Structure 1
Amino acid sequence: MSIPNEALQKIVQEIGQKKAFAEQQLVIVKQQTTAKNREGRMLQLTASEVESLPKDIKVYEGVGKMFVCTPVPDVQKRISKESDEVKFELANLQKKQDYLEKTYENSKNSLEQVLRGGAS
């Protein structure tokens, strides 16, 4: 049984759109992952610098256009919390990337299958 040309074109177009969308989203997710990895490295460097400071030293954090004196333990807590958030976001981005890669591969395989079937 053969599929009419119009239906075949519609199927190919829908699968092509899904494939293109997944490809675009993959690029975005990879960029976001790169940015989060960079943010995580910055937090690690900051944490190691703050760790090397004496506990009684004054530390200033930027808040908008001013600096606020903050105790070292509070800075360490903030850095730790932000690091945990970055790790959580990276895990979510990895899940999203895996899903998009599967969607892309499935769309690609479906498109190839439809084209092979339509050519017969």
Structure 2
Amino acid sequence: MSGLSDDTLHKVLQQIQARTVAAQRELSLVRAQIAASERARKISQLTSGEISALPEGEVVRVYRGVGKMFVQEPRKVMERSLEVQEKDIEEELQALNKKAKRLEDEYQRTQGQLRDIFHSQQQS
């Protein structure tokens, strides 16, 4: 790195720093999405638990919120839709966790590159 001119070194540092900031920003967004998905999963699981706790033989009305209204649905339809929703949320969480891991690795890599550049400049 000591062979690079100050201009080139400055440009390289700016590029690495921009990648670091972008990775950090995107990582914080992904973590927020993970938290939101976790909340949605928890709500779905709680709703499933409450519906399954209802007595089977009796006629119990189950309603789904749609905007500002509630629509009555058969219990089995509601249970199936909650199962599908939980499965979708789980798949989304897996994808988000993979993305978060990739972004963490990228952030660590760019931090290491910056550290290496500064150490090589201090030794020169």
TM-score (norm 2): 0.92
In structure 2, give the amino acid aligned to 1:48: G
Residue in 1 aligned with 2:107?
A: 104
The CA deviation at 1:118 is 2.2
| Alignment partners' CA distance in 1, 2:105 and 2:67 | 42
What stretches of structure 1 move > 4 A for 4+ residues in a row?
none
The number of aligned residues is 120
Mapping 1:51-70, distance limit 5 Å:
51-55=52-56, 56-70=59-73
1:5 lines up with 2:6 in the alignment: yes
Amino-acid identity (%)? 30
| Alignment partners' CA distance in 2, 1:42 and 1:65 | 19
Any unmatched runs of 5+ in structure 2? none
Any unmatched runs of 5+ in structure 1? none
Deviates more, 1:105-114 or 1:64-73: 64-73
Mapping 1:34-113, distance limit 5 Å:
34-55=35-56, 56-113=59-116
TM-score (norm 1): 0.94
| Alignment partners' CA distance in 2, 1:20 and 1:66 | 43
Q: Secondary structure at the match of 2:110?
A: helix
The CA deviation at 1:65 is 2.7
| Alignment partners' CA distance in 2, 1:118 and 1:4 | 12
